[in-house]
């Protein structure tokens, strides 16, 4: 609600889409959650970085004023048609015209087990 609340850029260095496990009744995935507490819609651009090729940059997103949005990275239709390969290292950059708060998480269900993972981040 304040002009100082949130940050314009969020960097998440550790993404790796888990392989779905057909025997699990919870669905392995990675997702980006963005909170916009301001009174203006946020125009956001996502960029994906890789180990051995150029980044895919500036996929547009909108997060409305006073809303949170969950974006599934394993659902190409939610990220402008981009298809991220399973089990490869990638990183995520989020840039917004209004200040936001973002988090990025993984739910892994490999091997009949289940685990959440929270990557470190930098924002500015």
Contact positions with its own copies (CB under 8 A) in 60-89: 66-70, 89
* DSSP secondary structure string for all residues of 28-96: -EEEEEEEE-SSSPEEEEEEEEESSSPPEEEEEEEE-TTEEEEEETT-GGGTTT--PPTT--EEEEEEE
82 or 115: whose CB is closer to its own copies? 115
Q: Cα–chain-centroid distance for residue 82?
A: 13
Q: Tell me, what DSSP letter sits at residue 16?
A: -
Contact positions with its own copies (CB under 8 A) in 93-122: 93, 101-111, 113-122
Considering only residues 30, 49, 61, 84, which one is a binding residue for its own copies as defined by CB under 8 A? 49
- Chain contacts with its own copies (rule: CB under 8 A): 1-2, 4-7, 9, 11-14, 24-26, 33-35, 37, 47, 49-52, 54-55, 66-70, 89-91, 93, 101-111, 113-124
């Amino acid at each position: 609600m304040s002009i100082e609340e949130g940050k314009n850029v969020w960097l998440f260095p550790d993404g790796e889409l888990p392989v779905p496990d057909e025997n699990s009744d919870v669905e392995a995935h990675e997702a980006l959650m963005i909170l916009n507490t301001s009174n203006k819609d946020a125009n956001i651009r996502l960029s994906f970085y890789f180990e051995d090729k150029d980044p895919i940059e500036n996929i547009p997103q909108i997060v409305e004023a006073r809303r949170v949005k969950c974006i599934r990275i394993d659902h190409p239709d939610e990220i402008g048609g981009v298809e991220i390969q399973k089990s490869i290292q990638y990183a995520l950059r989020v840039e917004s015209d209004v200040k936001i708060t973002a988090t990025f998480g993984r739910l892994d269900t490999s091997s009949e087990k289940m685990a959440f993972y929270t990557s470190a981040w930098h924002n500015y």
